[in-house]
Amino acid sequence: MSCKDLDKISKMQPMPRFPLSLSSLTFTGELDPQEMECLLKFPVTLKNLGIEIVFETDNRSVHELPTILYKLLKKHSPTLEKLSIDICLPNYDGELEWKFPVFPALKRLRICNYSELHNLEWNLKRAAGQEILQ
């Protein structure tokens, strides 16, 4: 799905219904945090998620991106088997702290542009089921 389509969907009220059989989604292009937040409204949990976005860093809400990404990943983390992340923040030289939840079903992980995600924390599960940060 193009981020332009996601932008249009995010402005629709009420949000259109998606088939409950939807299990895979990839979105590409320019995106802002509000458009990305639209993905939290999808009523299904995904098995495959691809995120290939360029985020315009002149946008004052760039600092919201890690939190929204975490919420999105947390929502889908129980069912995600494949995750691909490619985030580009052109001309942004600040530091953002990225956190990833536990992915109990994850079989394949791909992270591109690691330089954009250099300050990264993973939640790990203890045997007792409590989450810890590493």
Average pLDDT of span 75-92: 88
CA 7 to chain centroid, in Å, comes to: 15
Distance CA 12, CA 66 (A): 25
pLDDT in tens, 29-67: 887 777 777 778 777 788 999 988 887 766 667 888 889
Q: What is Dmax (Cα atoms) for the chain?
A: 44
Q: What is the pLDDT of residue 78?
A: 94
pLDDT in tens, 84-132: 998 888 777 778 888 889 999 999 988 886 555 555 555 655 444 444 4
Q: What is the pLDDT of residue 131?
A: 46
pTM: 0.73
